[in-house]
Amino acid sequence: MTCSRQRLAAGLCLLLALPFFLLACGGGSLVPAATPAPASTEAARPTAVSGDTGASPTSRPPASPTQPPPSPTPARGLQFDPPQVSQGGVAVVYLYEDAASATATFGGRQYPMLRDGNRWWAIIGVGALANTGLAPVSVAYTPAGGGEPRSVVQSITITDREFPVEHVELSPETASLLAPDIVQAELAKRAAIFSGYTLQRMWTGPFQAPSSGMLTDHYGVGRSYNNGPVTDYHRGTDFAGEIGAPVYAAATGRVVFTGELKVRGNTVIIDHGAGVFTAYHHLSAIDVQEGELVTAGRQIGAIGSTGLVTGPHLHWE
């Protein structure tokens, strides 16, 4: 992370770090960095290897009496799109196996996979503060014809990405909202919401901007409060706007939360399926109900200044 001093802009939100991946939009992009590709093609498939186990001769460990017998796990491997992922980015994991079900595990979090023709896919997210280098992605799956569950492990390379740092001055009253008990309660509430997983992709095409307002703060910007160390980073994208300006659903999905959060203010969270959620914060009005199915572009609320903010804006995760 680089450290460049920035002036505190009006309408900044002071959101705390979350151990979750949401839709991470950096660099001004409003489109997810990776979306599942359409139907698979032969060209995109991994090179076929011979043998019942599918193991490549070059990847087979040398025989040794002290080692356990070779694993029956096929080594056809996983594919990542993109092949490398930067800090704060997302990647699609593909498994090419005839499976009845499959679940990817990355960074301690499980991602149930969805079938697309002859392959399975899931979107994984990398935090802006994630360690760079190789990180293991494992996929456990049940063969379609039955039999013992199998697993494949392959590492993805996480590359470094430079993020600026904002120095934020907080008044004692404002800082009190960042007290650990308040923050932890909000984290727990969100954790419960994001623990839901819909095994269906509900969106089509790129996500839309949730507001016509100007982008004022990007994902991944480091945060130093009252000249303290950088312990946090901005987990969303901020849009400027007047109180009452419309906020739209970025993509089709189901509303899984509406309500007030102490730090994030009035909030709408939409589940788009496949582990992808979008969250809309600091709203002045909420126009949808929990359980409601919303289509892309539908107005779901209005820009406000509820929660911990320095002025009206939309914080979108």
Phi and psi (nearest 5°) for 225?
-95, 130
Q: Is the Cβ of residue 113 or residue 308 nearer to Zn ion in the bound state?
A: 308
Shortest Å distance, C-beta 221 to Zn ion: 9
Does 317 bind Zn ion (CB under 5 A)? Our answer is no
Cβ-based burial of 239 (10 A; exposed 0-12, middle 13-18, buried ≥19): buried
Partners of 165 in the beta sheet? 222
Q: Is the Cβ of residue 77 or residue 222 nearer to Zn ion in the bound state?
A: 222
Shortest Å distance, C-beta 183 to Zn ion: 15
Shortest Å distance, C-beta 168 to Zn ion: 11
Does 315 bind Zn ion (CB under 5 A)? Our answer is yes
Coil, strand or helix: which one is 176?
helix
State the Cα angle at 28 between 24 and 34, rounded to 5°.
45
Shortest Å distance, C-beta 2 to Zn ion: 20
Shortest Å distance, C-beta 239 to Zn ion: 9
Does 13 bind Zn ion (CB under 5 A)? Our answer is yes
Site for Zn ion in 282-311 (CB under 5 A): none
Shortest Å distance, C-beta 220 to Zn ion: 11
Window contacting Zn ion (CB under 5 A); options: 26-34, 230-238, 269-277, 295-303 = 230-238
Does 279 bind Zn ion (CB under 5 A)? Our answer is no
Among 238, 245, 256, 308, binds Zn ion (CB under 5 A): 238
Q: Is the Cβ of residue 76 or residue 315 nearer to Zn ion in the bound state?
A: 315
Q: Which of 152, 150, 50 is nearest to 94 (CA)?
A: 152
Q: Is the Cβ of residue 254 or residue 315 nearer to Zn ion in the bound state?
A: 315
Site for Zn ion in 60-79 (CB under 5 A): none
Does 271 bind Zn ion (CB under 5 A)? Our answer is no
Q: Which of 79, 88, 84 is nearest to 23 (CA)?
A: 88
- Percentage helix, strand, coil for the chain under 3-state DSSP, each rounded to 5: 10, 35, 55
Contact 290, 269 (CB under 8 A): no
Window contacting Zn ion (CB under 5 A); options: 12-20, 45-53, 201-209, 240-248 = 12-20
- The token duo for 125 is 């997210």
Cis status, amide bond into 82, omega within 30 of 0: yes
Residue count, binding to Zn ion (CB under 5 A): 4
Coil, strand or helix: which one is 144?
coil
Shortest Å distance, C-beta 14 to Zn ion: 8
Enclosing H/E stretch for 124: strand 119-125
For the CA atoms of the chain, what is the radius of gyration? 22
Q: Which residues bind Zn ion (CB under 5 A)?
A: 13, 236, 238, 315
